[in-house]
Structure 1
Amino acid sequence: MAKSDAELMDIFHAYDLTGCAWSAAQLAGCDPKTVQRYIALRDAGGLPAERVSRPRSIDPFLVKIEEKVERSGGKVRADVVHKDLVAMGFRGSERTTRRAVAAIKDSWRAGRRRVYRPWIPEPGMWLQWDWGEGPRIAGRRTQLFCAWLAWSKFRVVLPSWDQTLGSLTACLDATLRIIGAAPTYLLTDNPRTVTVEHIAKIPVRHPQMVELGRHYGCVVHTCEPFDPESKGGVENTVKIAKADLVPTTTNLRSAYGSVAELEDACARWAEQVNHRLHRATHRLPAHMLQEELARLHPLPAEPYALALGEERLVGEDRTVRWGDVRYSVPPGHEGRKVWCRVHGDELVIVGRRTQPGPGGGPDGGGPDGGGPAEQQTGSAGLAELWRHRLSTPGRPRIVEAHYPDHPGGNGPRQPRARPQTRAEERFLAIGPGAEAWLIEAAATGVARIRAKMARAIELASLVGAERVDAALGLAAIHGRFGESDLASICDHLARSSAAAGPAAGPAAIADEKHSAQPGTASWAAIRATPKDRKITN
C-alpha cells in the first residue's frame, strides 16, 4: 500500500536523523525494507508516488500491437489481436491482451484527437437548414424542413412530402418570409439538391441553388462532414422537432389525420420554442430576431420560381391545364399564376398563399392521392397547393373540396330562387321552407302555384311566419301541394305544440307494398276434392 505524503516525510526525517534504516523504521513505525526502498528511490531521483512497473509476459509483443493499432486507425479489436499474438507464441490470457490494446489505443488517440473551436455566430450572417423524417399520414411518408437562424436561435419547421429541389425552394422561400428578411449565408450539408458531385473532396454546387442564392441575395454554403460546431444547431433542431412532433410511445402524441393537423402542430411548436428562454443566451429567440432584423437584407417581391416548374394560369373554373388534362386548384387562386412540375406519378402545383396565418406548412390532402395545400404564414410566400395523380387526356382530375360553393357535385347545378316581384319577395321572406316548397312544387308541375303562395303569405300574417315556414318545409318533403294541405299542416303543428310533443316524425309515404284490401290467404285452406278435379288422359 502506498504511503501518504506525511508518512513519507516521517520516513525521510527519521532516516536523515539516524542514518540507519532499522532505527528509522522503529521511529517511523514501518518495516526497515520499506525505509530502504523509499530511500533508494529518493537517491535515484524517482517519484515515491509512482508505481514501478514490473516485467510482463506481453511486453515483447507491444511493438506488434502498436503496429496493428496504427494500421487499423485505432479500430482493431482486442480479440483479433489476441489470436495473432497466440499464433506468435504468446501464452498470456485474453484479459492481458485487452488491457494492453486499450492502453495503446488511448495513447494513439491522444495525439490524434480533434479539437473543436467554439463557433461564435454573428447577427445577420448564417441560416442553417436540414431535413428530418416526419410522421406518416395515411401510410405516406412526410419530411420536416427545419431551419435555424444561428445568432438569434430562431427556429422554423415546415412539413413537406419530399426533399426535391422544388419542395426545397418553396420551403426556403416560406422560411425567409416567416423571418421577414434574408441572411448573408445559407448553410446545409451536401444533399443532391445542393451538391451535384465532389472533386478532390471539394463540393460542386448545384447551378440552380447558386441562382436561388443570387435571387435572394444569399450565398449557399455546405458544411464539412461530422462538424458539430458549424451545423450542430440545426441538427439539434431536427432532433428536438422529431421528438416532439413525430408520434411515439414516449411523447404519447396521437397520429395525424391530415397534413393540416401536422402543419398546425409545427406552427404551435415553433411558436412555443421561439418564445421560451434559450439555455445559451437566456433570452427569447423571438426578441433576438427583432434585433437581428436590422442586420438582414430585404427579400425580393417575387419568389425564385425556376425550380418550381412551368408557369400556368388558373382559369375561372379553378383548373390548370397540364398535358391537355385539367387539374383543379383550391379556391382563391382564380386568375393567378401557379407553377407545375411532375414528381414521380404526381403533378405538384405550387402557388402563393392567399390567407394569413401563424405558421407555415402543407395543408390538406386530396381524394385522388392529392397532397398538401396552402402553407399559412403572416406574409406572402410560396406554398404547395395540391398534388394530383397524373392522368390522361379526357380524364380530368377534379376534387370536390375545391368547389365548396357547388354542393351539387358533378351533377347539374340546383336552381336558386331569385325573387322578381314584391309577392315573390314576401313569400321567400317566410324562410328556407318556402324556398324548398317552391323548388319542389315547380319540379312536380303543381297548378296554381302563385295562388298558393299568396295563401301562404296570408297564413304567415295570421299564425306567424315560423309556423308557416315549418309547414311549407314539411309539405315540400312529403309532396303535399293541395289547396288545403298547408292549412292542415299548420293546424297539426299547432295541436302538436299545444300537446308539448314534437311535430316532426318519420315520413309516412303510401306505396303498393301495404294495402287495406282483404287478401285471399284464407282460400288456400280450401282444397279441391278428387271428384271436382278434371282428369285428362
Structure 2
Amino acid sequence: MEILAAFDLTGSLRAAAELVGCSHHTVAAHVAARDAGRPVGAPARRAQVTDEYLDKIEEWVEASQGKVRADKVHEKLVAAGFAGSDRSTRRAVAEVKKAYRLGHARVHRPWVTEPGLWLQYDFGDGPVVSGRSGAVKTVLFVAWLAWSRFRVVIALRDKTQPSVIAALDRTFRLLGGVPTYVLTDNEKTVTVEHIAGVPVRNRKAVSFGRHYGATVLTCEPADPASKGGVEAAVKVSKADLVPTEVNLRDDYGSFAELEQACEEFMTVVNGRPHRVTRRAPAEMLTEEQTRLHRVPIEPHTVVFGLARRVPTNTPMVAFDHGQYSVPQQLLGEQVWVRVTGVGAAERIVIVHHGRSGPVEVARHIRATPGSPQIDDDHFGGPATKQPGRYTVRPRTEAEQAFLAIGDGAHVWLAEAAASGVQRIRAKMDAAVTMAKVAGNARVDWALGHAAVNGRFGWKDLSSILNAQQSAHLQTRRATETRSLSQGTAGWAKITNQQPPAGVDGEESR
C-alpha cells in the first residue's frame, strides 16, 4: 500500500521506487494489478510442467473417487512421456484432489428435533477389567436423547441381545419414559438381513418394540453420520472412561468400579450446560419427560437372558457349557438365564416369569464343564431365596419379478420385513407364480390387502384372491315377496297389450 501511495503522489515509477526503497519493476507490477482489478501483491500463476497432462490426472482422480496415490499417477505419467519430477506430480495431484473433494463434499443440514420423539444408541469399546479368567474387555452402551441431549452410559459385558435390551430397559427407567423412535446401527440383534434395501427386523427386536411401545429403526448401512449425535456421545464417553495417557485415569480393579465411574460421568455431563442449547440436559429432561410414554411395570422377558426349558425329571438347565440347578417346582417350565458381574462378583442368574411376574429363582457362581452347580434345597424343600422410510432396490431377478407385480408387492415386502416374517423369499416366489395365472392386477390387490391386514401366511394370499372372486358372483334368492320365475312384462311390450287382470306386470307370483 505504501508503494501505491508513493506512485499516486509522484506519478512516476522510478520516483515511487526511490521513496519506498524497491525496484521500479515492482511498482509497475503493483500498479498494473490494481488497474486490472486483480488482488495487489497476489502471486501470478506460472505455467507448470504438469499442465499438459492435467486432463489425465483429473480423469484418474475422478475414476478412483479421489483415492489414487500420487506415486501411482507419476508412474502412469512417466509411461506417457512425462519428464517432470515426482514432486511436481504430487503438487498437481494434491490440487486436483482438493478440487474433487470440494465438488463431492457431503452437506449436513441441522436436525431440528422434537421433544419425546428420538433416542439414539450405539456402542463403544470399553476398558479392560480384571476377571476370573484374567483381563475381560467390556462394552460401553451409550444412549442419547435427541431433544434434551441427555446421555446415558452403561457398562456391559457383551453386546448380546439380552444385554442390549436390559440396557435399553434401564435407560428408559433412568429417563422416566419411552420415546417414540429408537435409532441404532444394523446389528444382528436388530436387523437380520436386507432384501432389496429393506431391513428385515429381528423378531425379538419387534417384540421388544411392542412391549415398550417404541419403534426400532436403523440407519443406512455404513453411514454413521445419520446418527451423529450418539456417535459424538460415544467419542466423549470413551475419552473420559477408558484409561489413557491423556486422561490419567487408573485401571479398573472390578466391574463395580467401572459402573460407578459411568454414574459419575453421567452426573457431570448431564449437569453442565450443553454447547448448543446453553442449558443443562438434566434440566431439559424434566420438560421432555412430559412428552415421553410410560415405561411398562415389568421389563421384557429378553432382559432376563436366554430362554431355557427345565426338563420334566431333572431341575437342571444348561448354559454356556455348564449346568445349574433350579427349584424342583419349575419342572417343565421355561426360565431365563444370564450372566451378571465380572471377576469375583460374576454370577449366573436364573429368572422365572410366572403369574406374579418375573422372579429370580437361582443365583450360582460359574460352573465348569463336568462340574455342575447344585443347590441342595432345589431338590428337597422350597427355594430359600424370594427376591423382591427405505428405498426399495431389487438386486436379483426374483426380487425384480416380485416387485414388478405392483405397488401392493412393495407394501407387502415392507410390512413383512418389519414384522419379522419367516421365509419371505419363498413367499415372494409363490406370489410371482400366482401372478402368472391370476394376473398382476389381482395379485397386486391381494398383496396390498394382505399387508394392511397383517396376513403373511402361506395360504393367506390365495384365500384373499378366492374371497375377491366370490364377492363378484351375485346370487338371486327367492323370498316371500319375490319369485324367481319370469314375469309377463316383456310379453306386454311385444303385443302392446296390458297383462290380464290379476297378474303382476313386473313379476308373476
- Report TM bin, short chain: 0.5 to 0.7
User: In the alignment, residue 297 of structure 2 is paired with which amino acid?
Assistant: A
For the pair shown, the structure with the greater C-alpha radius of gyration is 1
Q: Which residue of 1 aligns with 2:64?
A: 72
Q: Which residue of 1 aligns with 2:238?
A: 242
Contact kept, 8 Å, 2:154 with 2:167, in 1: the verdict is: yes
1:183 Cα offset (Å) = 0.6
Q: Which residue of 2 aligns with 1:287?
A: 283
Structure 1: how far apart are the matches of 2:229 and 2:142? Answer: 10
Structure 2: how far apart are the matches of 1:310 and 1:232? Answer: 35
User: In the alignment, residue 253 of structure 1 is paired with which amino acid?
Assistant: D
Structure 1: how far apart are the matches of 2:171 and 2:13? Answer: 82
Q: Which residue of 2 aligns with 1:87?
A: 79
Residue 136 of structure 1 aligns to a residue whose secondary structure is: strand
2:133 is aligned with 1:136 = no
1:242 Cα offset (Å) = 3.2
User: In the alignment, residue 130 of structure 2 is paired with which amino acid?
Assistant: I
Q: Which residue of 2 aligns with 1:99?
A: 91
1:39 Cα offset (Å) = 5.8
Residue 141 of structure 1 aligns to a residue whose secondary structure is: strand
Residues 21/125 of structure 1: CA separation in 2 closer, same or farther (3 Å cut): same
Structure 1: how far apart are the matches of 2:19 and 2:272? Answer: 68
2:298 is aligned with 1:322 = no
Q: Which residue of 1 aligns with 2:158?
A: 162
Q: Which residue of 1 aligns with 2:190?
A: 194
Contact kept, 8 Å, 1:14 with 1:24, in 2: the verdict is: yes
Deviates more, 1:66-75 or 1:159-168: 159-168
Residues 22/373 of structure 1: CA separation in 2 closer, same or farther (3 Å cut): same
1:75 Cα offset (Å) = 1.2
Task: Give the 5 Å matches for 1:348-359.
Answer: 348-349=337-338
1:157 Cα offset (Å) = 2.5
Deviates more, 1:27-36 or 1:137-146: 27-36
Q: Which residue of 2 aligns with 1:262?
A: 258
1:44 Cα offset (Å) = 5.8
2:373 is aligned with 1:397 = yes
1:294 Cα offset (Å) = 0.4
Structure 2: how far apart are the matches of 1:285 and 1:60? Answer: 58
Residues 22/366 of structure 1: CA separation in 2 closer, same or farther (3 Å cut): closer
Residue 174 of structure 1 aligns to a residue whose secondary structure is: helix
User: In the alignment, residue 397 of structure 1 is paired with which amino acid?
Assistant: Q
Residues 176/57 of structure 1: CA separation in 2 closer, same or farther (3 Å cut): same
Residue-by-residue CA offset, 1:33-87 (whole Å, 9 max, x unaligned): 4555556556666554443322222221211211111111111111222222222
2:110 is aligned with 1:113 = no
2:271 is aligned with 1:275 = yes
Q: Which residue of 1 aligns with 2:299?
A: 303
Deviates more, 1:62-71 or 1:133-142: 133-142
Residues 194/24 of structure 1: CA separation in 2 closer, same or farther (3 Å cut): same
Correspondence for 1:211 among 202, 207, 211: 207
Residues 144/372 of structure 1: CA separation in 2 closer, same or farther (3 Å cut): farther
Contact kept, 8 Å, 2:324 with 2:367, in 1: the verdict is: no
Residues 57/158 of structure 1: CA separation in 2 closer, same or farther (3 Å cut): closer
1:182 Cα offset (Å) = 0.3
Residue 290 of structure 1 aligns to a residue whose secondary structure is: helix
1:247 Cα offset (Å) = 4.2
Contact kept, 8 Å, 1:14 with 1:27, in 2: the verdict is: no
User: In the alignment, residue 180 of structure 1 is paired with which amino acid?
Assistant: G
1:124 Cα offset (Å) = 0.9
Residues 329/235 of structure 1: CA separation in 2 closer, same or farther (3 Å cut): farther
Give the RMSD, CA atoms, in angstroms: 4.5
1:224 Cα offset (Å) = 3.5
2:3 is aligned with 1:7 = yes
1:10 Cα offset (Å) = 4.1
Q: Which residue of 2 aligns with 1:358?
A: none
User: In the alignment, residue 324 of structure 2 is paired with which amino acid?
Assistant: Y
Structure 2: how far apart are the matches of 1:288 and 1:366? Answer: 39
User: In the alignment, residue 113 of structure 1 is paired with which amino acid?
Assistant: A
Residue 146 of structure 1 aligns to a residue whose secondary structure is: strand
Residues 225/98 of structure 1: CA separation in 2 closer, same or farther (3 Å cut): same
Residue 142 of structure 1 aligns to a residue whose secondary structure is: strand
Structure 1: how far apart are the matches of 2:295 and 2:252? Answer: 36
Q: Which residue of 2 aligns with 1:126?
A: 118
Residue-by-residue CA offset, 1:11-39 (whole Å, 9 max, x unaligned): 35654xxxx76677678876554555556
User: In the alignment, residue 198 of structure 1 is paired with which amino acid?
Assistant: H
Contact kept, 8 Å, 2:156 with 2:163, in 1: the verdict is: yes
Residue-by-residue CA offset, 1:143-189 (whole Å, 9 max, x unaligned): 22222222222222223322122222222122212222101111111
Residue-by-residue CA offset, 1:341-374 (whole Å, 9 max, x unaligned): 5xxxxxx348xxxxxxxxxxx446679x745799
Structure 2: how far apart are the matches of 1:98 and 1:286? Answer: 52
Structure 1: how far apart are the matches of 2:368 and 2:142? Answer: 30
User: In the alignment, residue 322 of structure 1 is paired with which amino acid?
Assistant: V
List gaps (5 residues or longer) in structure 2.
352-356, 379-509
Contact kept, 8 Å, 2:177 with 2:294, in 1: the verdict is: yes
User: In the alignment, residue 256 of structure 1 is paired with which amino acid?
Assistant: G
1:212 Cα offset (Å) = 1.5
Structure 2: how far apart are the matches of 1:185 and 1:241? Answer: 23
User: In the alignment, residue 60 of structure 1 is paired with which amino acid?
Assistant: E
Task: Give the 5 Å matches for 1:143-182.
Answer: 143-182=139-178
Residues 287/21 of structure 1: CA separation in 2 closer, same or farther (3 Å cut): closer
Contact kept, 8 Å, 2:338 with 2:348, in 1: the verdict is: no
Paired residue total: 366
Residues 185/12 of structure 1: CA separation in 2 closer, same or farther (3 Å cut): same
Residues 398/143 of structure 1: CA separation in 2 closer, same or farther (3 Å cut): farther
Residues 13/196 of structure 1: CA separation in 2 closer, same or farther (3 Å cut): farther
Contact kept, 8 Å, 1:243 with 1:251, in 2: the verdict is: no
User: In the alignment, residue 398 of structure 1 is paired with which amino acid?
Assistant: I
Residue-by-residue CA offset, 1:221-264 (whole Å, 9 max, x unaligned): 2224565664233223333333443444553423333x344333
List gaps (5 residues or longer) in structure 1.
314-318, 342-347, 351-361, 375-379, 403-537
1:297 Cα offset (Å) = 1.0
Residues 90/289 of structure 1: CA separation in 2 closer, same or farther (3 Å cut): same
Structure 1: how far apart are the matches of 2:166 and 2:218? Answer: 19
Structure 2: how far apart are the matches of 1:121 and 1:289? Answer: 14
Structure 1: how far apart are the matches of 2:358 and 2:282? Answer: 20
1:125 Cα offset (Å) = 1.2
Contact kept, 8 Å, 2:365 with 2:373, in 1: the verdict is: no
Structure 1: how far apart are the matches of 2:149 and 2:374? Answer: 43
Structure 1: how far apart are the matches of 2:93 and 2:119? Answer: 44
Structure 2: how far apart are the matches of 1:382 and 1:104? Answer: 66
1:291 Cα offset (Å) = 1.6
Structure 1: how far apart are the matches of 2:374 and 2:67? Answer: 60
